[in-house]
Structure 1
């Protein structure tokens, strides 16, 4: 077996946030699309939310407060909720590959995100599709801090050098490689298929 576990990012690998409806609402309120996102991901709000220092509810309220000067209180509150609770488009091909691999080794999600990721997975029908979900809000550190990688490897029950790490950001993959993991910078499903091929091959299947 080439790997004992697969550690995979969620956003922009498996799930893609769909802000189409949210941006329509921004336009209806006279705002430039992306206005809410700019406030939400300002470091003074995004960092505490991602590290679990404030709750998802507190983050939502803070975003609404930031929008209050651009839209009325009711519109600001609705826009904030719409942004935080936006749905995801799931890449079925990637999910299918990971499900095949999970029959052979643990698959653990590693995401810089709030604890709302669990609700996103449930809504997408992926609540039981992974062996563990490790978020920055849960462990209090975010990629590329090595501690979140170590927490994910521990959750998978595998040594770091025996883990495959998949992420769409090169800086995050670099840290994984420094820890001895095999790293893949994800751009398209073929990137994942190539590295997972040994786990999916008939030779490995027949020897199990």
Structure 2
């Protein structure tokens, strides 16, 4: 689904989310551990991604190990401390992979205009991109952990547009979270709510067909 205030002329930069657009996690090990512990699947993530635990990590205020310890505390009473630490560590170190179809599309886009990754990420992001072979994917990377603000805060969108060297109303913003897309549109950007690679083909057609 594309949400657009106006799409009469091509935009001048693409601002793209990372997780659940480009990068995806393998959570099979965590699910297996949860079953063994008698927890519902997703219980660890529910604790880990509660704002009071997740936001400090995404803003670079705590380390990965401190985040794991906060998960352990959050799981207290549901499982033993040893099992809670095992679950928290498995979540923090879950393997991930990149969607090559999306990567290929974005590399083609970058040949025509600035590409900026805008992600609520952690201090491990640089190493993660390198491990995926994507250190050179974008012209710039705007990480919440480094700039100290997270989507959907207006400031992170402003930083991304500034890095691209483009006015906000000339940016295409791509994200899997609808609230982040709606914020981008409210700030004057063209927004794409991402669910699958096909969602990118129409808004990027003028580039991809050139």
TM-score range, shorter chain: 0.7 to 0.9
Q: Which moved more, 1:6-15 or 1:53-62?
A: 53-62
- Quote the residue 1:75 is aligned against: 83
Q: Provide the aligned length of Structure 1 versus Structure 2.
A: 202
| CA deviation map 1:65-112 (0-9, x unaligned) | 333433333332222111011122321111110011111112111112
Q: Find out whether 1:185 has 2:193 as its counterpart.
A: yes
C-alpha separation in 2, matches of 1:3 and 1:36: 40
- Are 2:100 and 1:92 equivalent residues in the alignment? yes
Partner of residue 209 from structure 2, selected from 182, 185, 201: 201
TM-score scaled by length of structure 1: 0.88
5+ residue gaps, structure 2, are 1-8
Distance 1:26 1:125 in 2: 31
For the aligned residue pairs, the C-alpha RMSD in angstroms reads: 1.9
Task: Report if aligned partners of 1:87, 1:120 keep a CA contact under 8 Å in 2.
Answer: no
Higher helix proportion (structure 1 or 2):
1
Within a 5 Å distance, the mapping from 1:43-192 to structure 2 comes to 43-192=51-200
How far the C-alpha of 1:28 sits from its partner, in A, is 2.6
Q: Which residue number in structure 2 is paired with residue 39 of structure 1?
A: 47
TM-score normalised per structure 2: 0.87
Q: Given the alignment of the two structures, is residue 28 of structure 1 paired with residue 42 of structure 2, yes or no?
A: no
Could you tell me how far apart the structure 1 residues matched to 2:121 and 2:189 are?
22
Give the Cα–Cα distance (whole angstroms) in 2 for the partners of residues 151 and 86 of structure 1.
29
Please give the alpha-carbon distance, in whole angstroms, between the structure 2 residues aligned to 1:129 and 1:110: 13
> Structure 2: how far apart are the matches of 1:38 and 1:190?
29
The structure, 1 or 2, with the larger RCO (C-alpha pairs under 8 Å, 6+ apart) is 2
Deviation string, structure 1 residues 157-205 (Cα, Å, up to 9, x no partner): 2221221111122221122122222211112211101111111223xxx
**Gap regions ≥5 residues in structure 1:** 203-208
